[in-house]
Amino acid sequence: MGREPSEGAESHGGYTVTGIGEADASEVFYDALTNKLSGSATLSDFRNAALQSCVDTGASSLLSCFEAVKSVGLWSTDVNTWTLPSGSSGVDLATYRVPEFFGSSTRFVYYSGSGDRGVYYRMRSCPVSSGSCSWSVQYSAGEPDAIGRPAAATIPGGASLFCFRVQYGSYNNLWCDNWYGSTGPHIGPDPGASDIATSPTLAYFNGYLYIAYGVASGQIHFKRLDPLTMTWSTAQTIHPSASTWLAPVLASGDEDRFGGAGDSLFIVYVIGTGPSMSQIAYVPFDDATGSWDYAAGGVLEQETLTPIGPLTQYYMTNRTPGAAFFRGRLHVVATDVGLDVLGGGNTLWYGSCGMPCDDPADWTRLVRQDGGARPGASIDTYGDYDYSLRIWHRLASSNMNAHRLKESE
């Protein structure tokens, strides 16, 4: 930020930034630190304060000042959206292009209903950060026997699907439906899986739609949908040693609007012996062989904190982690077991890696963000065309659905 404009632009965090000069930059930071922050302020508060100080101090170039602050890569504070049904497991997003109906790209948010059953959705026809439209009212997708968090994805130029676990009596399967749902029978095509133990996850990668899910044995299975024939492949196992009791999550480089990771597909999941002893693992997909490269996977390291009780570190558990590609990096978010020393509920944790993500040195540690979250969080870039990455989670103080964003690496 303090570079003189005459020195030209430089790239930082994926942003091309032109400085505003040492004098203006000093005023911005002085104003933010002395006039806008309290002793309990977080880095997210500082981000907001610095953006406001760009305005209040009359920086010579408001746009350059904004871009410099955003390029640091700090998360924004939470923005509340709507109240989720009691017991809902959270949201998954997809951006569907339906020009014949809406005339523009439409974002859909899918989530489970009260008691974690049923599929509901809301939609909007402008970016999440835009004030030119708002989220619709809540609609039911007409799937009362669905259980857990639904998964959504879009095949460019093809089908737009959401898939979910169905359970009633002894029946336990995976179904899929089209973007608008229905009060009648679901449309499919269904993956046709059985002995399902977790919610599914979806990702579009290299011409196919992939679905992954946990089964009763603890193993993780996956299939892929051919968009031309609209048929699913037979189920395969990620790896005999890849085991989880929670839903896995897929992350595809094809969903990174900035590119740089288009040939990458990862699965991220929780490992361990139970809810109080668990960590986050990752495995990359080898497109050349059509199999998962378990040997190139690993376990994410966490920020070292003071132990609480018998635990030697904060363990990730309770719900599926979130994972997405953004600006050529794989980003992961999770919640802990409720050891929230920052106030009320679970703590959010966040980390990322640079490609090829096949070495622990490629990764940052999982770093504690803040508390006040309910178990489970998702992360994606679907919500915007202003190129931001968003974490979606529920607040511990209510059942409010909230999101926060960052716009650089």
Instruction: Catalogue all structural domains in the chain, each as residue range(s) with its CATH number.
Output: 5-71 (1.10.390.10), 79-406 (2.120.10.10)
How is residue 45 written in tokens?
């508060």
d(CA 131, CA 129): 7
Q: What is the pLDDT of residue 310?
A: 41
Q: What is the mean pLDDT of the chain?
A: 80
55 DSSP 8-state letter: H
* Residues comprising the chain, all counted: 409
User: In this predicted structure, what is the pLDDT of residue 30?
Assistant: 94
Q: CA–CA separation, 393 vs 325, rounded Å?
A: 18
Per-residue pLDDT band at 192 (split at 50, 70, 90) = confident
> Looking at residue 234, what DSSP letter applies?
P
- pLDDT for 395 beyond 70: yes
What angle, rounded to 10 degrees, do the helices at 22-35 and 43-56 form?
120
How much is the pLDDT for 275?
A: 53
pLDDT, tens digit, for every residue of 206-261?
989 999 999 988 899 999 998 888 899 999 999 888 888 888 999 998 888 777 66
Contact 375, 357 (CB under 8 A): no
Please state, in angstroms and rounded to a whole number, the distance separating the CA atoms of residues 269 and 250: 9
pLDDT score at 220:
93
Q: Is the pLDDT of residue 67 over 50?
A: yes
Please report, as a single letter, which amino acid is at residue 216.
A
The predicted structure's pLDDT at residue 171: 78
* Lowest mean pLDDT across 281-295, 303-317, 374-388: 303-317
Q: Which of 296, 307, 286, 366 is nearest to 331 (CA)?
A: 366
The pLDDT value given to residue 307: 43
The one-letter amino acid at 370: D
Predicted confidence at residue 43, as pLDDT, reads: 83
Question: Confidence band (pLDDT; 50, 70, 90) for 393?
Answer: confident
Of all residues in the chain, the percent with pLDDT exceeding 70 is: 83
Average pLDDT on 43-62 reads 88
387: left (phi over 0), alpha (psi -120 to 50) or beta: left
- Whether 346 has a pLDDT exceeding 50, the answer reads yes
Find the range with the poorest average confidence among 238-247, 283-292, 353-362, 386-395: 386-395
Has residue 341 got a pLDDT over 50?
no
Q: Of 115 and 95, which is predicted with more confidence?
A: 115
> Directed axis angle between helix 62-71 and helix 43-56, to 10°?
170
Could you tell me if 212 and 323 are in contact, meaning their C-beta atoms sit under 8 angstroms apart?
no
Rounded to 5°, angle at Cα 401 from 120 and 88:
50
List the single range of 171-180, 321-330, 352-361 with lowest mean pLDDT: 171-180
Query: How far is residue 128 from each of residues 63, 95, 109, 241, 383, measured CA to CA in Å?
Result: 20, 11, 11, 39, 6
Q: What would the mean pLDDT of 269-274 be, rounded to a whole number?
A: 73
| pLDDT at residue 213, rounded to an integer | 94
